[in-house]
Structure 1
């Protein structure tokens, strides 16, 4: 049987040790079968195990193989579309409930790290950086919006203040969110997997779900075994393929690229990001960056629609890094990698149930680190019969991409080109 390793990345090279997790080779029974050992799946598994469920997790490759182990490592609150957009779409009552949950994911991460002693280089503080006066005005509105929903750990940064937190000349201001922050994403998911196993959960790696047998007692088939369960949670996101065709029709895998420099040394790292906050700009096609624990700059950006792997990631991302930090022109790039996230047309997550016993969450649209941890809690609540928060997500409207799977990639790329022009000319 094929053994799929982690792709080469800084995270894989610096990952904490993990035990072998053999592929499923038997027929087993459990209360809940979770498909996907990323943040969504493991967050669901942890909440379920803490409430007395038996849980088996199936992972096609290795724990955190997908976006959970390859992302920028930034803890960013809310959703890819903010609460005001949701409010205009669904009305104030549903938006109120979703708004109350918008800042919960980061708290769940911190609770998990503390409770299970997860070593993932957690740092507090995230900056939204404005390149134009219009973007700064948006941040001022965003601060008022978030404070309306009880989120108060925010500070607007004028041009002088933002120079104190990031040595980049292109920003006119920004907003600091002290409940944001950053982590080593693969070590976080590995720590969560260990927590699942400490509570009696079973994780099988190299065990892709190849077919779901639906019905009153659903069965998940793998190449060498099967899991009979009372409930199934589909948590594969951009790596689920066509396992559930009705979900694939309403989403599109997209790739984002990340590089990691050689270690910069304490002095240069301190000059670039004196408080060790993470940063993302306010463009539609945004750039994001932070320091690693060993003082590398991890810099990401760009989107490849349809999730193709670019031939030269460094050629795409290094110019973006040098635009922000020209002082790094002689710095070597040690790692370059790509990872896929799942985009929805609304850019809001898709949550729901197929039949009576197959639950799913997908489509974080690039905002997944915090949302996936919240999603696990919401899915676990639904399986326990507490569906109010689940229903608030499930009732969000979602639509298939125009033109179906054949045309969704060029249409999305055309839209991104348009918004990229708007970013470029400051609209």
Structure 2
């Protein structure tokens, strides 16, 4: 196996674990958690928000570790946190232990994301970088789909959800070993980042980027936390037991997310502003469908599919958009966009849980759908192009 292949395979495994069961697993098993621990929607929102807090903290730690230790250390730490967190979830006897496990498991995505961009940039030839990054990013979608299949497998075998989380922990340890071996050749490197680097990101031209990232993080976290449980409570879909609904939602979500691999081509064909507006409409439609037509095949398939497409394609847009705005700070600018995403992801589920308990789940989803809907109206194509052009003319600091 060539180094290109081993690095791509290791990155695929890391993203599959960290963005599959690590980041999405709590939402996948919310019905089981609510039944086992007698959790209200408010509690579900708070625990989910803790998982995204782990993602937020890990992004900052990974960025700090990357320059001094290289990508191996943050990726390994993330997969170790995922293993411990998933094991804690499998053993949890109360909400505090469950919340700690979700926090640790959720942090793995923050540790694993930007280090692989750095490793590919420094160890893979220019002509092979797009392919390597595409293969690594595919792990996200397939990891979500495989987590959904694991949940469906529990129904077929009548095993406990605890067995599934124990299996996730073992898979994370295997991914840790693979990444420890594959990343040993990627040494720390790169020039020290100037102290003013973060200040350079505080530019008016970047406001649309951070606004999109924040709303995206808010609504995607709400969907992950509550949609599968709401669709199950509505009776599932005709011909399948209601208990199969969450697994089916995440399988469709993950498979439709593979559309993210075509983001660059679509962006080149229709432009950034048009693409963003279409993606915000997809996100709003996904949330609205959960509220308006749950308990139907059309509602489930369209909602999960649109959400998967929305999440994976917006993620790809944030990476390319941040690099376009700040070409001298590609890793740091992407981290800043992800921090805005993580901020929305922490706040969104917590507020949504309170809203669901106060006003009802349907009202909560409709209100959530209004966020990307309003942002769609606010995104003016000319404004985005003007702001991008402003930063193109700036001298790097």
- Which is richer in strand? 1
The alignment's TM-score, normalised by the length of structure 2, stands at 0.27
More helix as a share of residues: 2
Task: Provide the TM-score with structure 1 as the length reference.
Answer: 0.26
